[in-house]
Amino acid sequence: MPLLNLKNQALALISQTVSGQELAQLRIAFLGRKGQLNQVFKKLDKVNYGRQFNETKQAIESALTERQTQLTGTTAEWFDLTAPGQLPPLGHLHPISQAIAEIQRIFEHLGFTRVRYPEVDWDHYVFEALNMPADHPARDEWETIFIDAPAHPKLGQMVLTTHTSNGQVREMERVKKPPIRMLNLGKCYRRQQDPTHTIMFHQFEGLVVDKGISIPHLKGTLDYFGRQWFGPKIKSRIRPFHFQFTEPSFEVDFTCTACNGRGCRFCKSGWVEVGGAGMVHPKVLSAGGIDPKKYSGFAFGWGVERVLRLKPGLNIDDIRLLYSTNQEFLNQF
Ligand SMILES: [Zn+2]
């Protein structure tokens, strides 16, 4: 069985090779014109051994090819030390955290200092000191969540803060003597839930108190924020409104970023309301121990989620998505 012996010998040698060079040598040794296969076949009866010759040749050919694939495959995996590694997928900060960091940065450029005040606070700081005495109808606008705990004899009941304005009088009490440039940024709570409201949300509250502060200072601050946040082409306007703790009070609009103020389905008028602002009411200054005859100030309190959903290119229809675990949505930020 000379052909069978030859085949077994060839397959054994092929399986032991460690390089393409060795394979090439074996190919010549067995299948070359003067190779062993031809040498053996020369001595055999061509008619009876023709088919076996072809089978042996094919078996050696395919063993060579297979071993070649094994060797090149293994080589690429083991020895390319310069191939870049695979990085593990990196997460990122939640879009609300990103927005908070950016808002803080913008106001720090104007000299504001970020502070934090309680998110569960006395009625006094949330309403009373802001010129909203008990039973005042203006309180109805705040869907307040009350804490089931004994009331303080002077400061009243505890509530979940409905706005970051509770920081105004607390900041005046802390600083005692103006100037004040406060950015109070924190969580607020109201009993409402729909596409543009969540029970828990974030507000940022600006408060500036000093000698000679007037409406143009407020307008300039809002314009600066608008340009930084929405882009250089943005315009703002203030409309008369009413809040208990500012006089005069305004609502602040910015030009719609979807249509650049021309008017579209989203904004209708070309303007989008962003939040409230105004000049600090003298009674609020007095409540914080500051003489309203010497000092004046402005304040504004806006929703982080609200300014985020209006950012150019976002136009988030339902802010509840921000608090969902929808990865497809969150991964876009
Ligand atoms: Zn528009």
Q: What is the 3-state secondary structure (H, E, C) of 280-304?
A: ECHHHHHHCCCCCCCCEEEEEEEEH
Residue 1: the pLDDT is: 73
Q: Provide the mean pLDDT of the chain.
A: 90
Residue 73: the pLDDT is: 67
Q: Is 93 helix (H, G, I), strand (E, B) or coil?
A: coil
Q: Where do we find the tokens 């090439």?
A: 24
Of the chain, the percentage scoring pLDDT greater than 90 comes to 58
- Whether the Cβ atoms of residue 261 and residue 270 lie closer than 8 Å to each other: yes
Residue 184: the pLDDT is: 97
Distance 269 CA to ligand 1 centre (A): 7
Distance 219 CA to ligand 1 centre (A): 22
pLDDT band for position 133 (cuts 50, 70, 90): confident
Residue 74 has pLDDT above 70, yes or no: no
Residue 285 has pLDDT above 70, yes or no: yes
Lowest mean pLDDT segment, chosen from 158-172, 297-311, 314-328 = 314-328
Distance 298 CA to ligand 1 centre (A): 29
The arithmetic mean of pLDDT across residues 74-83, rounded, is: 64
Tell which wins on pLDDT, 142 or 257.
257
The arithmetic mean of pLDDT across residues 81-108, rounded, is: 91
Distance 202 CA to ligand 1 centre (A): 25
- Whether the Cβ atoms of residue 186 and residue 121 lie closer than 8 Å to each other: no
Residue 204 has pLDDT above 70, yes or no: yes
* Contact residues for 61 (Cβ-Cβ < 8 A; gap 6+): 31
Separation CA 188–CA 113 (nearest Å): 20
Distance 266 CA to ligand 1 centre (A): 5
Phi and psi at 43, nearest 5°, equal: -85, -5
Copy the structure tokens of residue 320.
């509840």
Separation CA 301–CA 223 (nearest Å): 15
Count other Cβ atoms within 10 Å, centred on residue 45. Answer: 8
Count other Cβ atoms within 10 Å, centred on residue 187. Answer: 14
Residue 223 has pLDDT above 90, yes or no: yes
Residue 270 has pLDDT above 70, yes or no: yes
Q: Choose among 323, 312, 304: nearest CA to 102.
A: 304
pLDDT band for position 20 (cuts 50, 70, 90): confident
Distance 261 CA to ligand 1 centre (A): 6
Distance 234 CA to ligand 1 centre (A): 12
Copy the structure tokens of residue 78.
């083991």
Phi and psi at 42, nearest 5°, equal: -50, -35
Distance 206 CA to ligand 1 centre (A): 27
- Whether the Cβ atoms of residue 278 and residue 205 lie closer than 8 Å to each other: no
What's the burial of 132, exposed, middle or buried (CB within 10 Å: 0-12/13-18/19+)?
buried
| pLDDT tens per residue, range 310-333 | 888 887 888 899 998 888 888 888
Residue 265 has pLDDT above 80, yes or no: yes
For the chain, the straight-line distance linking the first and the last C-alpha, in angstroms and rounded, comes to 73
Lowest mean pLDDT segment, chosen from 118-127, 149-158, 205-214, 310-319 = 310-319
What's the burial of 204, exposed, middle or buried (CB within 10 Å: 0-12/13-18/19+)?
buried
pLDDT band for position 230 (cuts 50, 70, 90): very high
Separation CA 126–CA 247 (nearest Å): 18
Distance 272 CA to ligand 1 centre (A): 8
Residue 50 has pLDDT above 90, yes or no: no
- Whether the Cβ atoms of residue 263 and residue 149 lie closer than 8 Å to each other: no
Residue 86: the pLDDT is: 84
CA atoms within 13 A on the CB side of 193: 6
Tell which wins on pLDDT, 221 or 45.
221
Residue 79 has pLDDT above 70, yes or no: no
DSSP string covering 106-149 = HHHHTT-EEE---SEEEHHHHTGGGT--TT-GGGGGS---B-SS
Q: Is the peptide bond prior to 179 cis by the omega test (within 30 degrees of 0)?
A: yes
Lowest mean pLDDT segment, chosen from 71-85, 91-105, 182-196, 212-226 = 71-85
Count other Cβ atoms within 10 Å, centred on residue 153. Answer: 6
Q: Is the peptide bond prior to 248 cis by the omega test (within 30 degrees of 0)?
A: yes
pLDDT band for position 260 (cuts 50, 70, 90): confident
